[in-house]
Amino acid sequence: MEQGGISKLTLQRLPTYLAYLQSLPNDGGGTVSASSIASALGLGEVQVRKDLAAVSVAGKPKVGYRIDELRRDLEAFLGCGTRNRAVLVGVGNLGLALLSYGGFADYGLDIVAAFDKKSALVGTTVDGKPVLSIEELPAFLRRERVSIGILAVPGSAAQTCLNALIQGGVKAVWNFAPVHLTAPKGVLVQRENMASSLALLSYHLKVEEQKDLT
């Protein structure tokens, strides 16, 4: 899947490069080679060169990449520094965890309000963010500029909530519900599948245990 001329897999690796560059000492003129980056991140050198060539011309043969330039190019490409206003739908355990997690602001995500249908939650605030009734969502989206929706509702409610977000003009949705959702062209639904990660870990342990027994 291509997104504006860059592959989704390359795009997914870019934040890793940026995090690595941010971890390096930066005295103004330092350089780093593709092979150093590749070995630090467990990637192939050819892949690193190809990925970085898509976003930067900071690499020079036999010299490597200027750390400051490459970092600046990656930040500009990824839209670091731009702020995206988001709403969260579904204030259960996961929703609460996401609301309380302060780290998203580092990536330009500002959660401005949360929505739930449970009347006991409506009117409360979590980490300074108001919890509003799900019925207020359409009016809120008409009134406020919101570009990202975060879905932390049960799977059975996810498509309905997604539709409400899309009708309200939201173009990018981060879906934590364990279901596949359908959306029109131009709307990105990015699924975060923590259950799958846990299943992989659990299955790995089962296989390792069986090895120990034989």
Q: How far apart are CA 169 and CA 146, in angstroms?
A: 8
Pair type for strands 109-116 and 84-89: parallel
Shortest reach from residue 53's CB to a copy of itself, in Å:
17
Query: Could you say whether residue 193 binds a copy of itself (CB under 8 A)?
Result: yes
Query: Could you say whether residue 4 binds a copy of itself (CB under 8 A)?
Result: yes
Query: Could you say whether residue 205 binds a copy of itself (CB under 8 A)?
Result: yes
Query: Could you say whether residue 85 binds a copy of itself (CB under 8 A)?
Result: no
Q: Where are the alpha helices (DSSP H) in the chain?
A: 8-23, 34-41, 45-53, 67-77, 93-100, 137-143, 155-167, 194-213
Contact partners, residue 57, CB within 8 Å, separation at least 6: 73
Using the rule CB under 8 A, give the single segment among 65-73, 112-120, 136-144, 168-176 that binds a copy of itself.
168-176
Q: How far apart are CA 67 and CA 72, in angstroms?
A: 9
Query: Could you say whether residue 97 binds a copy of itself (CB under 8 A)?
Result: yes
Q: Give the three-class secondary structure for 130.
A: strand
Q: Which residue has the tokens 């009134």?
A: 143
Residues in the chain: 214
Query: Could you say whether residue 79 binds a copy of itself (CB under 8 A)?
Result: yes
Nearer to a copy of itself, 41 or 49 (CB): 41
Query: Could you say whether residue 44 binds a copy of itself (CB under 8 A)?
Result: no
- Would you tell me which residues interact with a copy of itself (CB under 8 A)? 3-4, 8, 11-16, 19-20, 23, 40-43, 77-79, 82, 84, 92-94, 96-98, 100-104, 107-109, 147-148, 155-156, 171-174, 178-180, 182, 186, 188, 190, 192-208, 210-211
